[in-house]
Amino acid sequence: MFKCECIGVEPSRATIEDGGKKFPNIKFINSTADSLPFKDGYFDHIIIGFCLYLCDRDDLFKISYEIGRVLDNNGWIYLLDFLPPFPYAN
């Protein structure tokens, strides 16, 4: 619809295989957000969806650094996450 290249970063090879079948227009990369295999400023948009709660808190600063590193200076970050109706920690 937007005529853009979409890349999904996923640590699970099984999920990459399944995702490739369901979403053939998305290129999936086997990696994690704390070590992104892309050059500086590679992306103009980054979507982080429903995954940070799965990350070790000790890795959050590294993940933030990596996202900032691969995002273009004029790029956009879209952060999607849960909003439970009660206080929650994982």
Mean pLDDT per 10-residue segment, the chain (90 residues): 91 96 96 97 96 91 98 96 83
Give residue limits of the domains in the chain: 1-32, 42-82
d(CA 19, CA 21): 5
- pTM of the shown model: 0.86
**pLDDT at res. 11:** 95
SS3 23: coil
Query: Which secondary structure element, helix H or strand E, spans residue 70, and what is its range?
Result: helix 60-70
